[in-house]
Amino acid sequence: MKLEFHGLSKQFDQGRVILQPMDFCDEVHTLAIIGPSGGGKSTLLRIIGGLLPPSSGTLSINGEELPKEEEGLQRYRKKLGFVFQQGGLFRHLSARENIVLPLTKVHGYSETEAGKRADELLERFGLGADGHKKPAALSGGQQQRVAIARAIAAKPGILLLDEPTSALDPEYTTEVLDIVNELKEEGLDFIIVTHEMGFARHACEKAAFLCEGKLMEYGSGSEIFDAPKSEQLKNFLGRLLEWNM
């Protein structure tokens, strides 16, 4: 994807600046957004996804400008897939219905086409026998696999993931990250907000370090993780390493 933004900022009503005006322009297939809590990662991802309007600036993905009006925004969002930290699934629907519903309601699939696509994805993600279960009857890892299946069902150009594994036990984290990595191998571009530094470093082409509302550093895994420049990134990485084995 070609991601470009200029003077992009966010300020909420109370006047606090959440994102300082930032510029970015690169052609990148897989991007990790890392940084301390409250730094503005989710806010930036939601702006990129057309879920939250920026206070200023311009943004485009693959040359397509982020629209301002609702109709344009709906069209823009349809080309993206979203996976959130948790609770993104409709609780009253089965896993299969969670995948089918957006396909029929948003993307214009027929019931039959949508059902076929849902079954194909459930099978693929090892959930062939679980399609009838509601989210509460699935493990956290299974729920996130359903969420990913739902997000990619309509074959979006880009997948946006906001801490998809942060609510999971370590063994489930791996299975979810494996799926994201597999999708990458198939050519799906993604932007992921993550605290899984191994994944950010090894599975993503580039990483952006967001801290205190600023895009402080950006580069390849080795630039960000082996040669951090700012004190903030050095501290952030240092703290992460503190309890590592």
Q: Which residues bind ligand ATP (CB under 6 A)?
A: 12, 18, 35, 37-43
Considering the complex, what minimum distance in angstroms separates the CB of residue 127 from ligand ATP? 27
Residue 232 engages Mg ion in binding (rule: CB under 5 A)? no
109 vs 209 by CB, closer to ligand ATP: 209
Q: Which stretch binds Mg ion (CB under 5 A): 35-43, 54-62, 71-79, 102-110?
A: 35-43
Considering the complex, what minimum distance in angstroms separates the CB of residue 234 from ligand ATP? 18
Residue 150, Cβ neighbours under 10 Å: how many?
24
Decide if 158 contacts 81 (C-beta within 8 A): yes
Considering the complex, what minimum distance in angstroms separates the CB of residue 163 from ligand ATP? 6
Residue 94 engages Mg ion in binding (rule: CB under 5 A)? no
Considering the complex, what minimum distance in angstroms separates the CB of residue 46 from ligand ATP? 8
Q: Which stretch binds Mg ion (CB under 5 A): 37-45, 86-94, 137-145, 222-230?
A: 37-45
Residue 42 engages Mg ion in binding (rule: CB under 5 A)? yes
109 vs 199 by CB, closer to Mg ion: 199
Residues within the interface to Mg ion (CB under 5 A): 42
